[in-house]
Amino acid sequence: MITIIENLQFIHKPFLAIGLSGLLLLSHSFKFKFLLNRNTVYLTMMLPPIILILTQTIATNLYLSLGLIGALSIVRYRTPVKSQYELAYLFALIGIGIVSGVNPKYAIFLTGILVILPIIYEIILKFFPSISNEVRFYSDGRAQLNVTFNKANIESIDFNPRNGRLIRVDSNAKENQSNYLFSFDSLEDARRFMKALKVKPESSSISNS
């Protein structure tokens, strides 16, 4: 009976951790809007329960704790991690493997939580449709747009774009061209600016800054 009560008390902890982490993400997103994207939301939901169950599993075993430190310190990935979500996913696989060897019930519970996260994410999208589905490769989330126009068409350019700013102008008198470099809060903002242009640029490129 005592064991059942202890298990029931533990079950709510991962969801509490997810809720508190979500609250932190929501509060910070008012200032840093680039946080509202798919990668960061998944990262916020995945890491807290993984860390919680992992530490709960090894809390009473000093030798396992030391072994875990050694195991994680020698892990090397030959391919670079491309996003926060990929990093969290790799850590989830490591966590499931370690917990499975010590407490299979915790491993099943952890896997169940991770499996239902996509459903939770879809529910979150209904309340926060502004969350971006684009992939973030850099932590600051900013993007740069480089466009080249014929000088006769520069009147079509908005030099005060929404969520962006003009940071450099280069002119080529020989080709009668002007090159404009803009910085935006996100890739989506840069794409919106491109779609709103009245005249198609002679060349353009968008990249993470």
Q: Tell me, what's the pLDDT at 139? A: 45
For a pLDDT cut of 90, what percent of the chain falls above it? 1
Model pLDDT for residues 130-143, shown as the tens digit of each residue: 676 654 544 456 78
Query: Which DSSP category does 160 fall into?
Result: S
Q: Which helix (H) or strand (E) holds 182?
A: strand 177-184
Q: What is the pTM of this model?
A: 0.55
Q: Contact at 8 Å (CB) between 99 and 106? A: yes
Return the amino acid letter for 181. Answer: L
CATH of region 143-208: 3.30.70
**Average pLDDT by consecutive 10-residue portion of the chain (209 residues)?**
51 83 83 76 88 79 64 54 72 82 84 89 81 54 81 73 82 82 82 82 77
DSSP labels, 94-130: HHHHHHHHH-HHHHHHHHHHHHHHHHHHHHHHHH-TT
CATH 3.30.70 maps onto the chain at 143-208
- Looking at beta carbons, which pairs linking 52-60 to residues 24 or more positions away fall under 8 Å? 52/13, 52/14, 52/17, 53/14, 53/95, 53/99, 53/106, 53/109, 53/110, 54/95, 54/98, 54/99, 56/10, 56/106, 57/98, 57/99, 57/102, 57/103, 57/106, 58/98, 58/102
Q: Tell me, what's the pLDDT at 123? A: 87
Say which residues have a Cβ less than 8 Å from residue 75's Cβ, sequence separation at least 6.
94
